[in-house]
Structure 1
Amino acid sequence: MEAALGRVTVSKQAGRQNLLVCFSHLRWNFVHQRPQHILTLASMQQRVVYFEEPVFEELPQPLMRTSEASPNILIVTPVLPVGTSAAKSDATQRRFVQQTIASMPHSRLIAWYYTPMALRFTEYLEPDICVYDCMDELSAFKNAPPELRQMEKALLHRADLVFTGGLSLFETKRHLHHAIYPFPSSIDVNHFHKARKPGKDPADQAGIPHPRVGYFGVIDERLDVDLVAQAAETMPDVHFVMLGPVVKIDAASLPRAENLHWLGGKAYRDLPDYLRHWDAGWMPFALNEATRFISPTKTPEFLAAGLPVVSTAIVDVVRSYGAAGLVEIADSDDLETKLRSALSRPRQMLRQQVDAYLADTSWERTWNAMAAHIERAHERKKIVPLRRSA
């Protein structure tokens, strides 16, 4: 175990706190999204450990790599030798989890799962509260483990609370748990409002002509690359800026055109700098199993930035933002018409509608509501044994 863990857990804040240990399939430093927003707010009330999936390197023995995302958030990454078997991987991660929790004195333990697969090495845990924050239908994603559905059933059986990342996901899973609540994507309004103010165009974007239509997010099997290619071909006067890391698909297979610009992943803090220089945003998602239940965080982020938005017919986008007249819904037949309509839409009128719609939407409200559910669940667990003994 690396010395960094001991340094962090001797803690700058003396005394026993609640401890929230999160098990995630997503890297903390990959894309800033739902887990980072929620757990950063959670860390204001308790310590947080973010336990990532392992990485595999050429080493003689496993080690636990640690870093601090903030004074109260510890990121733990198991680093395993290349060729480690699944059984050995589970045993090592189990040991790392035990060491981490043991090194952090706490008054209450909350186990928070983003991936059911983590049950393979945490089935022994007996937390005060077990939360499954189901942000996506992971079993529908490319390269999903075949046993994921079975592991999710086991997690649903253990969980005290289940949260879902959207309304569609809630509706398909609501019969699977007695305490399940929808928490659709929220928004850090102040951060994206920065895009409404003047600022310097980033260097890698400054030379791209206008009008610009932009996308930001992970570029994977959920993106309709054929639709992207169609847009670039049929609208040669419009330049399409695509931000985000490419995963699970071959970057060489992405369409290429003079008016199509793949600029790679960008830090969350830098997104407003890019968005303020776009003329419209778009979400060209494929309509497939991987997108059936998504509730894209970028929808309210685009809107808070002051941009008109065009999206394919993602159910949660259509029923919320489309129905409210805030997002244009398009398919391959009318994409050009909808994009050109968005590019000509008066900004100030749109911003007034957006601000009214997003007034009660924030990650703070989301976390406060989640925290209230956690407190109620904890109270219920204290009461039930007393009733049984009576």
Structure 2
Amino acid sequence: MYWGRVAARMPCSLRFYDANDDHLAFPGSSSWLPDYLSRYLERCGLVFSVSPELTARLPIPSTVRCVELGNGVEYDHFATPLPDAPPELAAFAAEGGPLLGYAGAMDWIDTELLQETAAAYPHSRIALLGPAYDRTWQDRNRALLELPNVHWFGRIDYRELPAWVQRFDLALMPLLRDPLKRASHPNKLYEYAAAGVPVLAIEYCSALGAARGVIHIAGTPGEFVVMVPEALRDVRRAERQAFAREHSWDALAARMQSELLRASEREAG
């Protein structure tokens, strides 16, 4: 979007836009960005979007084709079993109880919900993997991070992430239910599913609907907390991995390539 005005003027055979997040809703977005985005979209021949909610927020001209691709996963990277657990995680898990885990940006999680979950299951372990982009996040969430059964490991290198996620007894998606997240389509859903681990999510975006047959979805924070034991017993590993494979980056790239070729042909007349 920062180059929208310039890109709209550059000569080319086809312009397209890949909308993978509601960037205009990010904190600190410049006031001039909407105009830059609109100018670029007016010159596009094709738009890709991750969700119907995001599509509705974009100023896409009625003449421009929009394809909702969703999000994806590097399937083999997460599905290939890794025999060795990361030592730090193994030491934390050895303290006892089921290992519940979250992998993603700390800024997007409902920390109050995680506190309630940790308090309800004091013999469990909750591992938090990922960065906090807001420098004040750690200080603002001391109450969560000081709980004895919660540990924030910080950013994990993508190459190493499957070894961590595969050790979860239950993967959590306790995301904030705000306008920014409602327009999202979480690739962590497919990363968890590819790893084969059970998944418990709070219903915060429409993308979760397609996964109802392989994950557990809570409608409220209270439901999320009480559903932990049921979700831990979920043995639909093969079904989850089959679902994730359907959303591999290879599958999405093939569809995107097909759409781009057709759009190029239309532009060429």
- Decide whether the 8 Å contact of 1:294 with 1:314 is kept in 2: no
Counterpart of 1:338 in structure 2 is: 227
Aligned positions, number: 261
Cα separation, partners in 2 of 1:182 and 1:280, compared to 1, 3 Å: same
Identity across the alignment (%) = 23
Decide which of 91, 97, 100 is 1:213's aligned counterpart.
100
Which of 241, 254, 261 is the equivalent residue of 2:127?
241
8 Å CA contact retained: 2:217, 2:224: no
2:28 corresponds to 1:143: yes
1:236 offset after TM fit, Å?
1.1
Partner residue in 2 for 1:362: 248
Comparing 139-148 with 259-268, which one deviates more in the overlay? 139-148
Q: CA deviation at 1:245?
A: 0.9
Q: CA deviation at 1:234?
A: 2.2
1:166, distance to aligned residue in structure 2 (A) = 2.4
Match in the other structure for 1:153: 38
1:185 equivalent to 2:71? Answer yes
Q: Secondary structure at the match of 1:192?
A: helix
Equivalent AA in structure 2 for residue 264 of structure 1: G
Q: Secondary structure at the match of 1:277?
A: coil
Quick one: distance in 2 between partners of 1:291 and 1:336? 20
- TM (norm. structure 1) is 0.63
Q: CA deviation at 1:377?
A: 1.8
In the alignment, is residue 119 of structure 1 matched against residue 8 of structure 2?
no
In structure 1, the residue matched to 2:188 is: 298
SS in 1 for 2:131: coil
Aligned residue runs from structure 1 range 254-273, under 5 A: 254=141, 255-256=144-145, 257-273=147-163
Deviations 1:111-150 (A, max 9, x none): xxxxx12225545422222111001111222222222222
Unmatched tracts of structure 2, length 5 or more: none
In the TM superposition, residue 368 of structure 1 has moved relative to its aligned partner by: 1.6
Partner of 2:267: 381
The answer as to whether partners of 2:103 and 2:165 remain within 8 angstroms in 1 is no
Deviation at 1:192, TM superposition (A): 1.1
Match of 1:42 in 2: none
Q: Which residue pairs with 1:200 in the alignment?
A: 84
Per the TM alignment, residue 214 of structure 1 is displaced from its structure 2 partner at its CA by: 0.6
The offset of 1:303, in angstroms, is 1.0
Q: Distance in 2 between matches of 1:229 and 1:176?
A: 44
Distance in 1 of aligned mates of 2:6 and 2:134: 25
Q: Alignment partner of 1:129: what SS?
A: coil
TM-score (norm 2): 0.89
Moved more, 368-377 or 352-361: 352-361
* Alignment map for 1:277-288 (pairs within 5 Å): 277-288=167-178
* Native 8 Å contact 1:129 1:378 kept in 2: yes
Task: Kindly state the Cα deviation for residue 274 of structure 1 after the two structures are TM-superposed.
Answer: 0.5
Q: Which has the higher strand share?
A: 1
1:162 pairs with 2:51: no
> For the residues of structure 2 that align with 1:163 and 1:358, how far apart are their CA atoms?
20
What's the RMSD between the two structures over aligned residues? 2.0
Shift of 1:213: 0.6
| CA positional deviation for 1:361 | 2.6
Question: Residue 49 of structure 2 contacts residue 67 of structure 2 at CA under 8 Å; is this kept in 1?
Answer: yes
Looking at structure 1, the residues matched to 86 and 244 of structure 2 have their Cα atoms a distance apart, in angstroms, of 28
Shift of 1:327: 3.1
Q: Is the 1:186–1:362 Cα contact (8 Å) retained in structure 2?
A: yes
Q: Deviations over 1:212-253 (max 9, x none)?
A: 111111221x22122122222222111111111110351221
- Residue deviations 1:316-337 (CA, integer Å, cap 9, x gap): 2332112x34333252212221
On the 8 A contact 1:142/1:248 being kept in 2, the answer is no
Unaligned runs of 5+ in 1: 1-115, 384-390
| 2:195 counterpart letter in structure 1 | A
CA offsets per residue over residues 87-120 of structure 1, 9 Å max, x none?
xxxxxxxxxxxxxxxxxxxxxxxxxxxxx12225
Contact 2:13 2:268 in 1 (8 A): no
Structure 1 residues 213 and 275, CA gap change in structure 2 (3 angstroms): same
**1:117 to 1:175, Cα distance in 2 relative to 1, 3 A:** closer
Does the residue aligned with 1:268 lie in a helix, a strand or coil?
Answer: coil
Would you tell me which structure has more helix in proportion to its own residues? Answer: 2
Aligned partner of residue 335 in structure 1, secondary structure = helix
1:170 to partner: Cα distance: 3.2
For residue 363 of structure 1, report the CA deviation from its aligned partner.
0.9
C-alpha distance in 2 between matches for 1:158 and 1:353: 42
